[in-house]
Amino acid sequence: MGTKDDIERVLRRRGREVALVGVTLALVVVLGILQPRFVHLENLRFMLLGSVVLSLVALGQTFVIAMRGIDLSVAPLLGLSAMVCGLLAQSQGLPLWIAFALSLGIGVVLGAFNGLLVSALSIPPIVVTLGTYSIYSGFIFIYSQGTQVFSIPAAYGHLGNGYLVPWLPIPIPVLVLLVVLALCSFLLGYTRFGRALLAVGNNDAAAYNAGIPVGGIRIAVYALSGMLASFAGLMFLCYTGSATVTAGTGDHIELQSIAVALVGGTPINGGRGNLIGTVLGSLFLSVVLTALVFLRVPAIWYSAGEGLMILATVQAGLRRHRARDAEAVA
C-alpha cells in the first residue's frame, strides 16, 4: 500500500516530469527498435548535447514566465554574446574565463535594461522585449560588421564538446547544464527571491502590498533571463565553433524557449515554474527532431512537428489540471 501511495503522490506532484520522461523514453525505445542506430551512444550524446543551449535559454524564460512576463529578446542576446565572444576569441585569443565574464556581463546589463523598462515605465513585457529584440539584433550587425566567427581556440571547443574526466562519458555542456539547473532550482524553490518572483507572478498588486519590492524583482528576473541567454550564446559558440549574425534569431529560439517552458509545465499566467520540466521538455524536443531525421521526414516538416508537439503537450497539461480541479471541487 505504502509504495502505491508513494507512486500516486509522485504522479500527482511530478506528473509533468514523469509524463515527459515516459514519452521521451518511449520514443527512444520505439525508434531504437525501428532504427538501431538511433540508440547508438554517439546519437544519444548528440541528442543530449543538442538540447543544452535551448535548455539554458528556456530556464531563464521559465523564470520570466513564472513571474508572468515574457522575454522575446533572448534570441538576439544569445547571438550577441556568441558574436562578441567569438570575434574576440578568434582575433585576439580572448581567454575563456574573460569570455565567460563578458558574456554574463552582456546578458545582465541588457537583460536588466528590459526589466527596467518593464518595471519603471510599466510597458507590457511583450512590447518591451519586442522592441529590444530589434535593438539587440541591430547590435549584432553593428558589432560584427558583416564578418562571422569560423574558428575558435581549442579551449572553447573543449568546453563545448569535450569531457571533464576521461572515464565519465558525460560531455561538459551537459554537466554545465546540470549545475545551472541545480542553481536555478535552488534559487526558485529555496530562496526569498524565488518565493517573491512567484508571488509577483501570481498577483503583483498583492505582492506589492505584502511588501515585496516588485520593481526590483522584475529587473532581477529579466537580468537573470538575459544572463542565461547570453551564457547559452557562449555555449552555442563553443559547441558549434561558429557564430553568424543570425545565430539565435534565425532559429527563432525565443519562440522555442517559450514553447519548451510551457511544455515543461510552467503556466503562461505565471505563479508557478517548473525548471526540471523545462529541461526535460527541451530534451524531448531534441529527441523528436532527431527522430524525424531518422524517420527520413523532410526537414521542412520539423517546425510543423514542433507546433503539433506544443499543442499536444499543452493540451495534455490542461486536461490534467482540469481533472485535478474537478477532483478538488468534488
Partner 1 sequence: MSRPDAIPASAVRSEANTVKPFNRRHFPLDGWEMTLVVLLVLVLVGFSWAAPGFYDGMPDLLSMAENFLPFGFVALGLSLVIFTGGIDLSVSTTASLTAVVVAQLWHGFGMNIWVAAGIGLLLGALLGAINVLVIIRLKIEPLIATLATSFIYGSIATAVAGNAPPSGFPDAFNALGGGALGILPYQLLLFVPLCLGFWLLVARSAYGRKLVMVGYNREVALYSGIRVERILVVAYVLSGVMAAVAGLVLAAYYSAARPDMGDPLLLATLTMVVLGGVSIFGGEGTMLGVILAVFILGFLRQGMMIAGFSDMVTTMVTGAILITSIAVKNLFNKRGTGLGNQLWALLRRPEATGSEPE
3-class state of residue 243 by DSSP: strand
Options 208, 246, 271, 294; binder of partner 1; rule CB under 8 A:
208
- Which residue reads 533572448 in cell numbers? 74
| CA nearest neighbour of 174 among 285, 26, 283, 40 | 283
Closer to partner 1 by CB, 163 or 208: give it: 208
Closer to partner 1 by CB, 96 or 297: give it: 297
DSSP letters spanning 252-304: THHHHHHHHHHHTT--TT-S---HHHHHHHHHHHHHHHHHHHHTT--GGGHHH
Site string for partner 1, 262-281 (x = CB under 8 A): x-----x-------------
What are 158's three cell numbers? 573543449
Restricting to residues 67-106, which ones interact with partner 1 according to CB under 8 A?
70
Options 130, 174, 187, 292; binder of partner 1; rule CB under 8 A:
130
Closest approach of Cβ 235 to partner 1, in Å? 24
Count of other CB atoms within 10 angstroms of residue 245: 20
Options 101, 190, 315, 324; binder of partner 1; rule CB under 8 A:
315
The answer to whether 271 and 201 are in contact (CB under 8 A) is yes
All residues at 6 or more sequence positions from 200 whose CB lies less than 8 Å from its CB, including other chains: 67, 68, 207, 212, 214, 217, 218, 270
| CA nearest neighbour of 65 among 309, 259, 249, 276 | 259
Beta bridge partners of 243: 149
Using the rule CB under 8 A, is 133 a contact of partner 1? yes
Closest approach of Cβ 285 to partner 1, in Å? 12
Closer to partner 1 by CB, 101 or 323: give it: 323
- Which residue stretch of 119-127, 171-179, 193-201, 276-284 sits at the interface with partner 1 (rule: CB under 8 A)? 119-127
Closer to partner 1 by CB, 126 or 182: give it: 126
- Which residue reads 564578418 in cell numbers? 147
Using the rule CB under 8 A, is 33 a contact of partner 1? no
3-class state of residue 153 by DSSP: coil
Using the rule CB under 8 A, is 293 a contact of partner 1? no
Closer to partner 1 by CB, 127 or 183: give it: 127
Beta bridge partners of 163: 171
Q: Which residues contribute to the site for partner 1 (CB under 8 A)?
A: 70, 117, 120-124, 126-128, 130-135, 137-139, 141-142, 208, 255, 258-259, 262, 268, 298, 300-308, 310-311, 314-315, 318
